[in-house]
C-alpha cells in the first residue's frame, strides 16, 4: 500500500513539473516572444516596402509637432503583382512623365517591393491610384523636418543611412526616438504570392511596444516661429534665446544661418557654418558683462547706484589707455553709477572692476554660470572662457570688467544671467526637455523645473533691475523700450580685434534684457555676429520680439 501511494506521488510530481514547463513555454511564446513570432508569421504572408523613418516625435510644450510636420508622396511598386511589366511602365510613364525605359528597367530588375525615388504631388498620386495599375500604389510619407525648418539647431539631425541621431535632441535622445518600429506599405498574399481578395495594400507596423518614443520640449512653437521670422527679416548671422526667468524653460532658441536637415549635404562645406548652433557657442560678451561687474560691486556694498564718478572719456591702467566707446564725443564728466550703466561708461566700470578686484569679479561671474556649461547638456555646447584670478594683471582685469579680452560666453549663458536678475537674484538652470511620452502620448518620465539657487540678494537684484530700466529709458538701449509693459536690459558691442576695409573695428552686437517690468515673463538675448552696434542692431530686434510674442 505504501509503495502504491509513493508511485502515485511520483506521478503527480511528474505531471506537475511537466505541466509547469508547458505553462512556462506557453507564457514565453505568447507573451515574451509574441512580437517576434507575429513578425515571422506575417513576413511569410506579406510583401512589404518601408515607407517612413522609424523615429518618435519631437513636440513643443503644447504638443505641437516639430518633426514630421509635412508629407510627400512616393510610388510603391510590388513586382510580384505586376503581370505585364511593359504595360505597367507605359501607364506609369504617361501619368508621371518618367521615361518608360527607366520604369521598365526598375520593375524587371527588382524582385522585392521598392519605391520610385521621384516625388509626386497629391493630385498626381490620386490619378495613379485611380488608374488601378496592378502592383502599383501611392503612399504618403512624412517629411522628418518639414519644408520650412523650425528650431533646426535644437532638433538637430539624423544620419539617413542608419537612422541614427547625430546632433541636437535627435542625437541626445536617439535611443528613445529610435524606439518606434518601421511602418510598411504591404501587400497581403496567399501561398501563391497573390494578393488576398478584399485586403489589397495596407499600412502595417509589424510590432508595437509602449517604450518612450516622443520627446516633449519646453519650446513654444508660436514663440519660436515669431523669433525666427524676425531674425530672418533682418538677415543676421547670430542667435536669439528666450527664457522664462522663474522656471528656466527655454521658450525659443534660434541660430543663423539656418539649415534644412532634409538636404544636409548642401551645408556641410559652407564657410558660414550653418550647422553651428551659435546660441551655445562662445563669443566676447562686451558690455553686457558689465551687469556682472555691477552685481559684484553692489552685493559687496562697496558701490551704490547713486555714487558719483567722473568719466573723462578714457582711463589709464598700467600705462595702458582704455577709451570709452563714445570717446570721440568727449567724456561725460560727473555721472552716477546708475548712469554709468545706462550710458555704458567704460572708464567708470574699469574703475569699479579694479576696486572690487579680480577674485571677487570672477567669483560672481562663476555664480552666474560663466566658464562652464549649462544644464541643457547639448553635446556641442561650449563652456565659454573665464580667466583665472591668479596673476591677472591690472590691464587684463580692466578688460574683464567691461567684457573684453579673453573672456567668452555663450548667448545661453547671457540669457541665464538676465533671467537670474529678473528673478530677483534666484538662478534657475535653463532646460529644454520637459518630458518623455510613449507612442500613445502617455507620460513616461517628467523633468521637473530645477530648484532655484539664490546668488544675489533681493536688494542687489532690484538695484540692478532699476539700473537696467535706465538703459532702456534714457541710455544706450532706448530702441528696446516697450511701451505699455516696459522693458529693461543692457546693450553690448564686443570688439573682435579685427578691422574692416575702412579700418573700423569689427564688433559683435548684443542686447540682453527682459520684459514686462512687473512679473517678467521673458528673458531675451540677441546676439548679432559682426553686427557692430548693440544699440542700433540688437536693441530694435529685442523690441520687435517682445512686441510680437506678448501678442500670442
527-550: pLDDT as tens digits: 999 988 999 999 999 999 999 999
Q: Range with the lowest mean pLDDT among 128-142, 218-232, 305-319? A: 128-142
Residue 40 confidence (pLDDT): 44
Q: Tell me the mean pLDDT in the region 124-153.
A: 86
pLDDT for the residue numbered 315: 93
pLDDT at 122 over 90: no
Q: Is the pLDDT of residue 398 over 70?
A: yes
At 64, the pLDDT band (50, 70, 90 cuts) reads very high
Res. 491: pLDDT tops 60:
yes
Q: Give the whole-angstrom CA distance, residue 174 versus residue 164.
A: 7
Whether the pLDDT of residue 72 is over 50: the answer is yes
Name the band, by pLDDT with cuts 50, 70 and 90, for residue 123: confident
| Least confident window among 173-182, 210-219, 507-516 | 173-182
Q: Residue 43 — very low, low, confident or very high, per pLDDT cuts 50/70/90? A: very low
Which run of H or of E encompasses 401?
helix 394-401
* 213, 180 contact by CB (below 8 A): yes
pLDDT in tens, 463-486: 999 999 999 999 999 999 999 999
Q: What is the pLDDT of residues 352-395, one digit of tens each?
A: 999 999 999 999 999 999 999 998 989 899 999 999 988 889 99
What is the edge-to-edge ordering of all strands in the sheet holding 505-515? 250-256, 238-243, 522-528, 505-515, 488-499
Is the pLDDT score of 344 beyond 90?
yes
Bridge pairing between strands 212-217 and 58-59: parallel
Q: Is residue 179 scored above 70 in pLDDT?
A: no
pTM for this model (two decimals)? 0.84
Q: Is the N-terminal amide bond of 516 cis, ω within 30° of 0?
A: yes
CB atoms within 10 A of CB 175: 11
Instruction: Name the more confident of 397 and 118.
Output: 397
The 8 Å CB, 24+ separation contacts for 359-364 are 359/389, 360/296, 360/300, 361/292, 361/293, 361/296, 361/389, 361/397, 361/400, 361/401, 362/386, 362/387, 362/388, 362/389, 362/392, 362/400, 363/296, 363/389, 364/292, 364/295, 364/296, 364/299, 364/455
Q: What is the CA radius of gyration of the chain?
A: 32
Phi–psi pair at 305, nearest 5 degrees? -55, -30
Over residues 281-285, mean pLDDT: 96
State what percent of residues in the chain have pLDDT above 90.
Answer: 56
What's residue 180's pLDDT?
58
Q: What pLDDT score was predicted for residue 324?
A: 84
Mean pLDDT estimate for the chain: 87
Q: What is the mean pLDDT of residues 433-443?
A: 89
Would you place residue 206 in the very low, low, confident or very high pLDDT band (cuts 50, 70, 90)?
A: low
CATH topology of domain 221-260+276-549: Beta-lactamase (3.40.710)
In the prediction, which pLDDT does 68 show? Answer: 83
pLDDT of residue 41: 46
Cα gap 60→65, rounded to integer Å: 6
| Confidence check: pLDDT of 198 > 60 | no
Q: How confident is the model at residue 175 (pLDDT cuts 50, 70, 90)?
A: confident
User: Helical H runs in 409-496?
Assistant: 411-422, 458-473
How big is the CA angle at 142 (ends 136 and 145), to the nearest 5 degrees? 145
Rounded-to-integer distance, Cα 167 and Cα 152, Å: 10
Side-chain half-sphere exposure of 386, counting CA atoms within 13 A: 24
| Averaged pLDDT, 11-20 | 67
Residue 232 vs residues 143, 227, 254, 258, 412: alpha-carbon distances, Å: 23, 9, 10, 9, 20
Amino acid at each position: 500500500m505504501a509503495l502504491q501511494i509513493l508511485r502515485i506521488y511520483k506521478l503527480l510530481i511528474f505531471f506537475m513539473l511537466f505541466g509547469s514547463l508547458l505553462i512556462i513555454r506557453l507564457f514565453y511564446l505568447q507573451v515574451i516572444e509574441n512580437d517576434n513570432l507575429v513578425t515571422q508569421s506575417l513576413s511569410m504572408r506579406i510583401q512589404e516596402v518601408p515607407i517612413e523613418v522609424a523615429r518618435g516625435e519631437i513636440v513643443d510644450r503644447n504638443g505641437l509637432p516639430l518633426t514630421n510636420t509635412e508629407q510627400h508622396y512616393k510610388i510603391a511598386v510590388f513586382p510580384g503583382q505586376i503581370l505585364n511589366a511593359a504595360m505597367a511602365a507605359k501607364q506609369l510613364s504617361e501619368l508621371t512623365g518618367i521615361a518608360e525605359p527607366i520604369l521598365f528597367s526598375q520593375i524587371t530588375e527588382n524582385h522585392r517591393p521598392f519605391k520610385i525615388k521621384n516625388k509626386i504631388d497629391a493630385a498626381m498620386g490620386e490619378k495613379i491610384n485611380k488608374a488601378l495599375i496592378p502592383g502599383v500604389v501611392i503612399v504618403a510619407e512624412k517629411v522628418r523636418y518639414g519644408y520650412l525648418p523650425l528650431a533646426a539647431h535644437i532638433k538637430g539631425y539624423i544620419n539617413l543611412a542608419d537612422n541614427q541621431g547625430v546632433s541636437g535632441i535627435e542625437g541626445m535622445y536617439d535611443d528613445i526616438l529610435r524606439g518606434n518600429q518601421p511602418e510598411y506599405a504591404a501587400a497581403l498574399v496567399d501561398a501563391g504570392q497573390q494578393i488576398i481578395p478584399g485586403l489589397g495594400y495596407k499600412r502595417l507596423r509589424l510590432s508595437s511596444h509602449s517604450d518612450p518614443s516622443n520627446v516633449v520640449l519646453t519650446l513654444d512653437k508660436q514663440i519660436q516661429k515669431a523669433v525666427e521670422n524676425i531674425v530672418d527679416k533682418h538677415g543676421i548671422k547670430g542667435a536669439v534665446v528666450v527664457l522664462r526667468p522663474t522656471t528656466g524653460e527655454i521658450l525659443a532658441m534660434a541660430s543663423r544661418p539656418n539649415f534644412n536637415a532634409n538636404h544636409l549635404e548642401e551645408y556641410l562645406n559652407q564657410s558660414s557654418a550653418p550647422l553651428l548652433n551659435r546660441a551655445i557657442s562662445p563669443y566676447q560678451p562686451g558690455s553686457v558683462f558689465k551687469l556682472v561687474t555691477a552685481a559684484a560691486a553692489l552685493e559687496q556694498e562697496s558701490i551704490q547706484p547713486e555714487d558719483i564718478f567722473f568719466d573723462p572719456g578714457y582711463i589709464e591702467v598700467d600705462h595702458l589707455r582704455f577709451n570709452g566707446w563714445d570717446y570721440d564725443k568727449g567724456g561725460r564728466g560727473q555721472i552716477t553709477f546708475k548712469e554709468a550703466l545706462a550710458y555704458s561708461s567704460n572708464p567708470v566700470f574699469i574703475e569699479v572692476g579694479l576696486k572690487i578686484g579680480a577674485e571677487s569679479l570672477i567669483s560672481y561671474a562663476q555664480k552666474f554660470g560663466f566658464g562652464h556649461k549649462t544644464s541643457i547638456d547639448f553635446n556641442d555646447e561650449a563652456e565659454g572662457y573665464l580667466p583665472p584670478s591668479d596673476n591677472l594683471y591690472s590691464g587684463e582685469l580692466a578688460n574683464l570688467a567691461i567684457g573684453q579680452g579673453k573672456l567668452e560666453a555663450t548667448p545661453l549663458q547671457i540669457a541665464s544671467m538676465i533671467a537670474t536678475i529678473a528673478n530677483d537674484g534666484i538662478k534657475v538652470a535653463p532646460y529644454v526637455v520637459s518630458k518623455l511620452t510613449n507612442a500613445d502620448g502617455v507620460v513616461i518620465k517628467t523633468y521637473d523645473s530645477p530648484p532655484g539657487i539664490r546668488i544675489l540678494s533681493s536688494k542687489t537684484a532690484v538695484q540692478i533691475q532699476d539700473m537696467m530700466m535706465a538703459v532702456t529709458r534714457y541710455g544706450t538701449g532706448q530702441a528696446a523700450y516697450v511701451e505699455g509693459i516696459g522693458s529693461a536690459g543692457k546693450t553690448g558691442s564686443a570688439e573682435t580685434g579685427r578691422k574692416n576695409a575702412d579700418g573700423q573695428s569689427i564688433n559683435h552686437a548684443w542686447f540682453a534684457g527682459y520684459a514686462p517690468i512687473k512679473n517678467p515673463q521673458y528673458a531675451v538675448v540677441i546676439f548679432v555676429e559682426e553686427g557692430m552696434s548693440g544699440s542700433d542692431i540688437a536693441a530694435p530686434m529685442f523690441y520687435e520680439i517682445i512686441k510680437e510674442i506678448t501678442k500670442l
